[in-house]
Structure 1
Amino acid sequence: MNLTTLSVFALVALVAIATPGPTVLLALANGSRYGVRRSLPGMFGAVMSDFVLVGAVALGLGALLAASEFWFSVVKWVGAAYLAWIGLRLLRSNGALDLSQPGADIGDAAARRVFAKSFLVAVTNPKGYLFCSALLPQFIDAAAPQWPQYVVIGLVFAGLDFAVMLGYAMVGARAVRLLRQRAVRWLDRSCGAALLTLAGSLAFYRRSAS
């Protein structure tokens, strides 16, 4: 893989990542509720899922989902149900949060929940596997060792994903500084509605449409 190929991949991946989806919406909501620093565990969870997706493509699991209606449906419904659950929780938010120590760390249990939420949202989305299965092999040189190339692609993809989520979290945190609790309520409910919409679109997403 040469630098030109990697640059083209980075550009395509950046466009795909920056398009509002479940993980960036969670980064936006986390930024508004916890601030940028305390929303970092969620970003790390999403980055971890990136490595899972890239590894799954390298192992051929993305192709399995593309070929198996059963396994595709299992992942799809688990992902749709989890997205809907998070969306409903955000819709019911009253905007309550503790702004007394905006720079403080959240507790270990809360950090694990933030991490797990973002990780599970990304790793249970079959669209991610199908997208990566269609995209990544186009940038792999079949004549060269493939695993090192997948490692490089995974690092670039994860780095871009982290940068985009960091930007969304900063937007959310900025909105809180401007409008405080009203902004949190507005962002929570907007993100909740968007996640419910994504859950509905995922529920009706068909493998044949990939």
Structure 2
Amino acid sequence: MSLTSLFTFALIMSAGIVTPGPTVLLALNNAARFGIRRTTWGMLGAAAADVLLVSLVGLGLGVLLATSETLFVTLKWVGAAWLAYMGLRMLLSSDASLPGKAETTAPTRRALFLKSFFVAMSNPKYYIFMTALLPQFVTTSQPALPQYASLAAVIVSIDVAVMLGYATLGKKSVHLWKASGIRWMNRVSGSFLLVIAGSVALYRKSIT
């Protein structure tokens, strides 16, 4: 894999990740409620999901999804249900986690890690995108493992940078909006997650 190919891949992934997805919205919401330092554990969960997904693609996930309609439909509905659940929880959450009370209401680091991990793994549209994109940048005449490792490093770096940027935005927004910031952050993030859940439910596999 050449540096030019890796740079091209980074540009494509940047364009996709900058658009707020489930993990980015979660980082935004978590930072507003619990602070950036604790939100870092959620970012690590999303990064772990990135590495796992790249590994699965390298092991042939694309072929499996293309040949098994049952697996694809199962992943689609489980993912849509999980994202909808997360969105509804944000919409219906109270304002208990206001600035000054974060230490008594923040979830554990493990909970934040797992929550972001499962949110990242719940979007089958991302699976299809990755299984279609990644193999195009892997040179078959060279060892596959180092190439997939390089692609994973690029994805994780961009993903973490974008999540950190949105998390900073969420934290600063709360400082500006004070108490109402949490309420509006929950409403906006929850609404977007419900929209994403709906798009996942309506999504149809297009690769063969």
Q: Same fold (TM over 0.5)?
A: yes
Contact persistence 1:97–1:181 (CA under 8 A) = no
Aligned residues: 208
Which ranges in structure 2 are unaligned for 5 or more consecutive residues?
none
State the 4+ residue runs in structure 1 displaced beyond 6 angstroms: 104-107
Aligned to 1:129: 127
Partner in structure 2 of residue 204 of structure 1 = 202
Mark the CA change 1:101 to 1:81 in structure 2 (over 3 Å): closer, same or farther: closer
The normalised TM-score by structure 2 is 0.94
Q: CA deviation at 1:105?
A: 10
Which residue is equivalent to 1:65? Answer: 65
Residues 106/10 of structure 1: CA separation in 2 closer, same or farther (3 Å cut): farther
Q: Quote the offset at 1:178 in angstroms.
A: 1.0
Distance 1:189 1:15, change over 3 A: same
Residue 101 (structure 1) shift: 7.0
Over the matched positions of the two proteins, sequence identity in percent amounts to 49
Letter in 2 for 1:166: L
Query: In structure 1, what is the equivalent of residue 170 of structure 2?
Result: 172
Check if 1:31 corresponds to 2:35: no
Seen in structure 2, the aligned counterparts of structure 1 residues 193 and 3 have a Cα distance that, compared at 3 Å, is same
Given that 2:87 and 2:194 are in contact with CA atoms closer than 8 Å, whether structure 1 keeps it comes out as: yes
1:106-117 matches, cutoff 5 A: 110-117=108-115
Superposed, 1:18-167 pairs within 5 Å as 18-100=18-100, 110-167=108-165
The separation in 1 between residues aligned to 2:207 and 2:30, in whole angstroms, is 32
Superposed displacement of residue 98, structure 1: 4.6
Q: Which residue identity is paired with 1:114?
A: L
AA partner of residue 44 (structure 2): F
What is the aligned-residue RMSD (CA, Å)? Answer: 1.8
CA distance in 1, matches of 2:44, 2:33: 17
The gaps in structure 1 that reach 5 residues or longer are none
**Aligned residue number for residue 17 of structure 1:** 17
Q: Contact (CA 8 Å) 2:50, 2:152: kept in 1 or not?
A: yes
Task: Give, as a single letter, the amino acid of the residue that structure 2 aligns with 1:189.
Answer: R
Quick one: distance in 2 between partners of 1:161 and 1:105?
29
Please give the alpha-carbon distance, in whole angstroms, between the structure 2 residues aligned to 1:209 and 1:161: 25
Once the two structures are TM-superposed, the CA of residue 208 in structure 1 deviates from its matched residue by 3.1
